[in-house]
Structure 1
Amino acid sequence: MASILSPFRQTYRYLQRQAHESPVIFFSCVLGAIGPLMVITVPPIRTSLGWKPAESIPTTYPLPNRPRRPVQGYEDE
């Protein structure tokens, strides 16, 4: 049984040593590994907390649903 857990124990010891000897590299690798996991876990958590996406910004000016009238008035003769 000990031979099955040996690689995990050695990996833990290696990571612990790296955290003490070069913490910047170690923690940058930890944050780099957490990033892809957050892509999967954060959106469902946000929706369960009641977050709703913002309404999209209009890209065109809405035209009225009526016939156009010719312009009359100031210098439009």
Structure 2
Amino acid sequence: MRTFFAIFIICILALTGCQKEVKQYEKGKLIYEGTVNSRGDRDGSGKLYDPETGKVIFDGMFRNGLKLKGTMYDKNGRNPHPYEE
């Protein structure tokens, strides 16, 4: 029974892409925090930050490294507007 359970968990993780939470930096500044898939692509929920101002410029969902749906902001973190691919 234990072996079946372990195989079941491994299959579920494989199907979901084994997402994990990360923080990505560029030149010492936070540019992304959120989930990535097993290939390291942004995948799931996350936030993009402007590397100059440090403000959130996108907050939403990613799929295979691309923005899917969420809210875009200007480089100062203002003027929110919906984004949908």
Asked whether the two chains share a fold, i.e. TM above 0.5, the reply is no
Structure richer in helix, relative to its length: 1
User: Structure 2 length normalisation: TM-score?
Assistant: 0.24
Higher relative contact order at CA 8 Å, sep ≥6: structure 1 or structure 2?
2
User: Structure 1 length normalisation: TM-score?
Assistant: 0.25
Structure richer in strand, relative to its length: 2
